[in-house]
Chains A and B, each alone.
Chain A
Amino acid sequence: MMKQILSVSWISLRSLPQRLWLSLATILTIAVVVAVLLAFLAMSNGFRKTLEGTGSDDVALILRGGASTELNSVLSREDQAVLETAAGIAKNNGEPMISGELYVVVNGTKKTSGTKVNLPLRGLSEQGIAMRGPVTISQGRLFVPGRNELVVGRALLGEFDGFDLNSTVRFGATDWDIVGVFETGGTVFESELWSDLAGVQNQFNRGSSVQSVRAKLTSPDAIEDLKDFAENDPRLGVDVISEKDYFKEQSQSTSDLILVLGWPLAIAMGLGALAGALNTIYTSVAARARDIATLRAIGFSSLSAFFGTLSESLALSVLGGLLGAAVAWSFFDGLSTSTLGGGFTQVVFSFQLGGALLVQGAILALGIGLVGGFFPAIRAARLPVAMAFSDR
């Protein structure tokens, strides 16, 4: 039986070139559908990975209660003083490892579209920089406090105009020099501008207030101690969250939205491609009707006729899927872009195709191939044997 199926499949596959254009069209349509799906999946995946790769679980982020993002939060000098005495915070030479930070939004220009977008300027201390894992200055140098100097993240520099190394940018009535480029290993922080906290407080009229406080924890579990402390101190009205969870939460809505748009679009287009595939395979069955009937007449089973036809459809969908994946891989994988993140500023990320996504693309392609072959295959299996002896 297996042998029969294989040989009938072989015959029908060998006849593919006879319907070259129709077969190519089917391959191409499946390829387009798979490429569109993979583009959306890679976009969603890339955004999620960038945000989930940011932040560590032994750093606590402290915001004013209910603020939910750094942009909306304000913490006074008094709040910061209380937090310095909090439980669970690691110490360096007896000093608590804590970083008060400002997060102000400034304009930049997106290179690809020329449109004006929001970019974050973060005021922080060296302590704060040290809390962001390995930070390297790849060009120039770090800012010097008190001098209105900025360093620019590698991703921001690549995606936006207006912040080139050694250039000057004007905020209000003050000029800022861009003195260096920093890298943080592809995290969200590379989409930021950094300067010294006191300078930003001064130039943006923030007095001694900050927007967020980061605290290095003695261990990831110590966040519970810090939360207890914050809840029980009547002077504080703050929310404590691990830095890792903060970015993870921010990734969810945007990456889900992209998925929610991508799959229905791909399925709708897939239905269109399915109609094309059905047309092709039905035509193939009609063209080979005599051959199939003849095979049946000389003793091949109807099951082999069924699988022979199905294999043609599957072959087309596999080829289409591979082509679509290749197109998506060469055009979209690694493509850098940006969108509005949870902090109301741009987050630079790149499209990331991976094994799990390719599997989803393969499922879509094979789904079209299976359904597109199944119904014509039934027709092939039911062809009357007598057809072999008819004239046409």
Chain B
Amino acid sequence: MTHGTLIWKNLTRYRLRFFLTTFAIFIAFFLFGILQSFDKALDAGAELAADDRLVVSNRINFTQPLPIAYVDRIRSMDGVLHATHQSWIGSYYQEPRNFIFGFAVDPESFMTVYQDDIVLPAEQIAAFIKNRRGVLVGADTAGTYGWALGDLVPISSNIWQQADGSKVWDVVIEGIFQSSRDELPANGLYMHYDYLNEARTFGKDFTGTVALTTTDPTLNDQVAQAIDFRFQNSAYATETRTEAAFNRSFVDQLGNIGLIISSVVGAALFTILIIVGNTMALSIRERTSEIGVMKALGFRASTVFSMVLGEAFGLAFFGGLIGTITAWGLVEIARNIPGFPFVLGFPTSVWLQAFGLMVVLGVLTGLFPAWNAYRLKLSTAFARV
């Protein structure tokens, strides 16, 4: 009988207790995996942002507009490679609850700046640029509403209104794009800025944000400062940030979600630490005389020590692995549901953190009983029978 089998036999001696303790560990690591994945999903917008793209918004707040003339002025500045602009349209299809992330853009410069993010055939891009009423829609969005290329679709806006009072803009699906990265859903709608701007009743010749690429990412800070300096005394002072920082600012609005998640995970881990620690201490106490026998038979104190520690590690890894794998499986299922609202993923860092926690759990719950077993004198062991 090897030490490994002996550890396993000891662990599973009381099957019910083993099952219950494993279950408690399972729950904690399952929660850990799911919540970490969720936390990463909230960061996805920032983490997947291109590092050479900057976003210029109104300094007062990003919901305040910028004059459309800023686009050309920014484009002509040193270090700026390409610039384009986007306006939020608050679009929906038929019913307000069929909400679509829609923007009005300048088609040509938009395709230049975002060419690495969205994927579609060149002829669709050309058709979109040519047709003033043309739109690009994400494959997921098109799938949700059953749209195909060439369809004429009425899109409503909860903000913009045409001169005749209508809130509906008739558009033609000229392109259906895929996302260049699997982890990002292909959703959204992009219409021509000119089509929106000419017909809308207010806000004419303003846009929402300007996005630009720099000639070299190391120039980002310099370019950002130059842009903000240039407009600082105008009525439309700007704030230029990296795309990652801009995306991050949306998540920040929700509150300190990171803190909430780490508190819950911390509470869950603390709970199992107590449960497992006590169970380990109890089962070693119960076996005092047995450990005495082992020592009397010639097992070295260090062997006894590592076997008890091994038991704690076995428990932590057994429950921890099942929990983490289950969380991973669930995330995999969820992310393959079409239209799932979060960009879920299960990055390697979560695995590594989980392994780290299993080691910590094993050490914290095993060290004390192992030390007791190590020190145990034969006289004490047999006196307790």
Contacts and interface: CB of A to CB of B under 8 A. Distances in A.
Instruction: Please indicate whether A and B come from the same complex rather than being unrelated chains.
Output: yes
Interface string A234-268: 00010000000000000000000000000001001
Contacts of B235: 172-174, 205
A68 B159 CA distance: 10
Given A173-B237, A272-B27, A105 B202 contact: no
Nearest to A29: B271
B63 A71 contact: yes
Interface in B1-45: 16-17, 20-21, 23-24, 27-28, 30-31
Interface stretch (A126-134, A214-222, A333-341): A333-341
Contacts of B24: 272-273, 275-276
Nearest to B27: A272
Given A104-B64, A173-B234, A275-B24, A29 B16 contact: no
B270 A32 contact: yes
A115 B252 contact: yes
B28 A283 contact: no
Contacts of B279: 279
A6 interface: no
Interface in A334-372: 337-340, 344, 346
Interface residues on B, range: 35 or more
Contact of A22 (B23, B237, B282): B282
B234 A269 contact: no
A381 to B, nearest CB: 17
Interface in B207-236: 233-236
A204 B156 contact: no
Contacts of B281: 21
B274 A272 contact: no
Interface stretch (A90-98, A106-114, A304-312, A383-391): A106-114
Interface in B341-374: none
Contacts of B274: 25, 28-29, 276
Interface in B124-163: 156, 158-159, 161
Contacts of A275: 20-21, 23-24, 27, 275
Interface in A66-117: 66-68, 71-72, 74, 104-107, 110, 112-113, 115-117
Given A22-B282, A104-B63, A275-B275, 17 more contacts: A28-B271, A29-B275, A33-B267, A64-B161, A72-B90, A72-B158, A118-B63, A172-B58, A268-B27, A269-B27, A272-B271, A272-B272, A275-B27, A283-B282, A337-B255, A337-B256, A340-B253
The 3 closest A-B pairs by CB, nearest first: A276-B275, A272-B27, A115-B252
Interface of B: 16-17, 20-21, 23-24, 27-28, 30-31, 58-61, 63-64, 90, 96, 156, 158-159, 161, 165, 167, 202, 233-237, 249, 252-256, 264, 267-268, 270-272, 274-275, 277-279, 281-282
